[in-house]
Amino acid sequence: MNKKTINIALAGNPNSGKTTLFNEITGTTQTTGNWPGVTVTKKTGKCSYEDTRINVTDLPGTYSLSAHSEDELIARDFVVKEKPDVVINVVDATALSRNLFLTIQLIELGAPVVVALNMTDEAKKSQLDVNPEMLSQILGVPVVETVGTCGSGVKTLIQKAVELAEDKEKSCFVCHYGADVESATQRIQNVLSETQVAKTHYPLHFFAHKLLERDKRIEEEIETIDHPEKVHQIVEEEMDKLREKYGDDVETLVINRRYEMARNIAYKVTSKIRKPNRVTEILDRILTNRFLGIPIFLAIMYGIYFVTFTYGAYLSDLVGLGVEWISGLFDSLASFGIPAITNTGAFLNGVVTEGVGGVIVFLPFIAVLFIFMSFLEGSGYMARIAYIMDGIMSSVGLSGKAFIPYMVSFGCAVPGVMAARTLDTNRERVLTVLTTPLVACATRMEVLFFLAAVAFVSNPLMQSLSVWIVFALGIVLAIVLVSLFSRIFYKNEKATPILIELPPYRLPSVKNILLHSWNRTKHFLEKAGGVILFGAIAFWILSSTPSNILSLGSNAVISTIVISSLLLWLILSNALPSIRKRIKAPIIKASNIISLLTIVAVYIIGIMPVLPTDVALDESIIGTVSRGGQWLVTPLGLDWRALVALVAGFVAKELVISVFNILGTGVGEMDSSSTIREWYSPQAVLGLMIFMNLYVPCLATIGAIKAEIGWKWALFSVGYSLALAWIVSFIVYRVGLLF
């Protein structure tokens, strides 16, 4: 059996439902949402049709093939340079003319196109009939009606795509730009055909059109050929000719002509009546009202956190019962009276229940938060938030669109940092990437809930209020810092005005919400079994081994070196995206298991036999080392234990909980909250919460920042956030002491 393999790409306007279709085609569960710019990277999946294997690539949305932002560039480069066998052009049936604009360009590029006429259910609801046969006739490409949300039409779509890949039949559709533009195009084409450009993958007329549109990236490509000035001269001559006739609009002449074509086609194939979307009209009148907009937004956010805090607590208690039960099992190991088993029980208790279990107890909070976030993302409100926040954001020099990465960061800072790709200028991207990590992500919410429960044990109102204050402070500081950084690094650049599509409001399906929240929560579960587990082991070993390790004999020293290097590898390979990308997942999993077993074996053989019982925490490796740096946090009312927690939090924020739990058990209690209260005053814990929220979120976020804007900025981000965290928590602690 020799199976054929073909490559298919999904391209289309932002928010036309590419990822929803992609999930239906490949059976994956990539994040979808109802705002333009949900997908900012290309994602691949597989499926098969009869005896053909299909690699499917989901691309970020783009309005045209002239890329303005990073995500659009990814889409365009893939279509132009990677040359997929078939491009499935996902077209939103409710906004046909705008979507056909891209379709025409794809056809002009010579790409084999299948049009997926998507959201036909919504079109029908507003009594808008689109005639797919007629559209197919005009464009000369197959057109398939689809509804991504229920998967209808997907089979036919794949069938058509496979057929097209076999036939390689090209569309004979030609867009007419008018005699004058055509003659200009012809002349530019002639001069281009004598250059190296003729050998590139672009059709020459496409290249010529882009030059007339003044497409920056195409102009850059012209610079790389031998005599770019020849081409420039011809282009300018032709532009001048056109300018005489059409005035200053010549820059958009080609685009406008193409648009006329798209509008004409849309006009021909659709019914003339269209029912306005009353729900969207009414909701927009309320939610984007100039006076009510911001208060409603704040109320929604507070509501989400309030409900998360209350209901998450019930669920969390349930999980807590389970964890306690397991802990009881481990404790009972001590009753055997054999030191080795007692030690093992203590180890398992420390690592599994305190370290990992302590984190899992807070997962219900995350799950509830994600249910609300998924609802918001699917509803269409996200794009409105960009509109509402535009006033505030533009006063510090960003467009309201930059608030969307902040919103994404409520879930996780890594996709938040990546969401900045949709912004138009480099300046906006850098400023947003630098400041999004200040917005408390779900993980940091976990830690905040944990610390708040500790600090204000008898006061539930203060518990939720303190979390809210820390959270709001993060956002306010982010906005203030944008203004500051903008003044320092980009003195003379102005904000780009907002321009964003506001999609109709939609009611997200329950299935979709549950699927998305589960997907995201699962990621945190996996983290608990990976980096958190290894971090907890590392920490437990460090805190149970005395610092005068040399006195334990050479075996112990060698074992310690082996163990610490293995642990370092484990933590880094699980926390750093750059490493994870380079190594295949099964290899990482295998390396995890092998390293873990080796560590346990080496520990049991090399260290256990010589380990004195009851090592005081102060004399353990971690205690000795961190007390050396204690002066760093004493002004904040904290001690070396908090320092250790903060250092561990550098890797992943959940480790803050693990560390406090493991340290707390030393005093002899299962619940660490009472011990933290013994160590620190409530003011100091509030300061700690703020510190925790403001400094670097985790290694993965630093990796993402590096990938988006480079090492220099990533280092700067680490540095400034540490300084900011220290200063702000110092102020809060000192002021708090006055009360």
Q: Are 669 and 413 in contact (CB under 8 A)?
A: no
Q: Is 677 in the site for other proteins (CB under 8 A)?
A: no
Q: Is 97 in the site for other proteins (CB under 8 A)?
A: yes
Q: How many CB atoms lie within 10 A of CB 543?
A: 20
Q: Is 187 in the site for other proteins (CB under 8 A)?
A: no
Residue from 390, 428, 446, 654 in contact with other proteins (CB under 8 A): 390
Q: Is 681 in the site for other proteins (CB under 8 A)?
A: no
Place of tokens 């949709």: 422
Q: Are 277 and 127 in contact (CB under 8 A)?
A: no
Q: Which residues inside 48-67 make contact with other proteins, applying CB under 8 A?
A: 63-64, 66
Shortest CB 317 distance to other proteins, Å: 43
Shortest CB 500 distance to other proteins, Å: 5
With CB under 8 A as the contact rule, which of the stretches 49-57, 272-280, 440-448, 658-666 interacts with other proteins?
Answer: 272-280
Residue from 10, 54, 90, 95 in contact with other proteins (CB under 8 A): 95
- From CA 570, how far away is CA 367, in angstroms rounded? 27
**Beta carbon nearer to other proteins, 255 or 557:** 255
- From CA 709, how far away is CA 717, in angstroms rounded? 11
Element (H, E) at 339: helix 339-348
Report strand pairing: 43-49 vs 52-58: antiparallel
Instruction: Annotate each residue in 283-322 with x if it binds other proteins (CB under 8 A) or - if it does not, as one string.
Output: -x---x-x--------------------------------
**Beta carbon nearer to other proteins, 400 or 682:** 400
- Of 560, 643, 656, nearest to 354 (Cα)? 656
Q: Is 499 in the site for other proteins (CB under 8 A)?
A: yes
With CB under 8 A as the contact rule, which of the stretches 164-172, 176-184, 273-281, 683-691 interacts with other proteins?
Answer: 273-281
- Of 426, 436, 440, 427, nearest to 404 (Cα)? 436
Q: Is 272 in the site for other proteins (CB under 8 A)?
A: yes
Count of residues that interact with other proteins, criterion CB under 8 A: 51
- Of 124, 46, 101, nearest to 260 (Cα)? 101
- From CA 296, how far away is CA 116, in angstroms rounded? 37
Shortest CB 108 distance to other proteins, Å: 15
Q: Is 580 in the site for other proteins (CB under 8 A)?
A: no
Torsion sign across C-alpha atoms 539, 544, 547, 553:
negative
With CB under 8 A as the contact rule, which of the stretches 188-196, 389-397, 683-691, 721-729 interacts with other proteins?
Answer: 389-397
- Of 163, 113, 101, 175, nearest to 143 (Cα)? 113
Shortest CB 650 distance to other proteins, Å: 38
**Beta carbon nearer to other proteins, 167 or 244:** 244
**Beta carbon nearer to other proteins, 266 or 663:** 266
Residue from 500, 652, 657, 662 in contact with other proteins (CB under 8 A): 500
- From CA 596, how far away is CA 600, in angstroms rounded? 6
Q: Is 278 in the site for other proteins (CB under 8 A)?
A: no
With CB under 8 A as the contact rule, which of the stretches 280-288, 316-324, 344-352, 432-440 interacts with other proteins?
Answer: 280-288
**Beta carbon nearer to other proteins, 322 or 391:** 391
Shortest CB 450 distance to other proteins, Å: 38
Shortest CB 326 distance to other proteins, Å: 51
- From CA 121, how far away is CA 148, in angstroms rounded? 10
Residue from 52, 126, 159, 200 in contact with other proteins (CB under 8 A): 126
Q: Which long-range contacts (CB under 8 A, 24 or more apart) does 723-727 make?
A: 724/477, 724/481, 724/694, 724/695, 725/690, 725/691, 725/692, 725/693, 725/694, 725/695, 726/636, 726/691
* Strand-by-strand arrangement of the 43-49 sheet: 43-49, 52-58, 4-12, 86-92, 113-118, 143-145
Shortest CB 66 distance to other proteins, Å: 6
Q: Is 336 in the site for other proteins (CB under 8 A)?
A: no
**Packing angle of the helix pair 510-527, 363-379 (nearest 10 deg):** 140
List C-alpha distances in Å: 663 to 130, 324, 660, 672. 66, 17, 5, 8
Q: Is 391 in the site for other proteins (CB under 8 A)?
A: yes
Q: Which residues inside 242-261 make contact with other proteins, applying CB under 8 A?
A: 243, 248-249, 251-252, 255-256, 259
**Beta carbon nearer to other proteins, 206 or 305:** 206
Shortest CB 429 distance to other proteins, Å: 16
Q: Is 131 in the site for other proteins (CB under 8 A)?
A: no
Q: How many CB atoms lie within 10 A of CB 464?
A: 20
Phi, psi of 652 (to 5 degrees): -155, 135
Q: Is 276 in the site for other proteins (CB under 8 A)?
A: yes
Phi, psi of 149 (to 5 degrees): -65, -25
Shortest CB 241 distance to other proteins, Å: 13
- Of 143, 139, 231, 153, nearest to 194 (Cα)? 231
Phi, psi of 647 (to 5 degrees): -65, -45
**Beta carbon nearer to other proteins, 98 or 527:** 98
Residue from 386, 477, 566, 657 in contact with other proteins (CB under 8 A): 386
Q: Is 129 in the site for other proteins (CB under 8 A)?
A: no
Shortest CB 260 distance to other proteins, Å: 8
Element (H, E) at 521: helix 510-527
Q: Are 170 and 110 in contact (CB under 8 A)?
A: yes
For other proteins, the binding residues (CB under 8 A) are 63-64, 66, 68, 94-95, 97-98, 101, 126, 213-214, 232, 236, 243, 248-249, 251-252, 255-256, 259, 262-263, 267, 272, 274, 276-277, 280, 284, 288, 290, 383, 386-387, 390-391, 394, 399-400, 424, 496-504
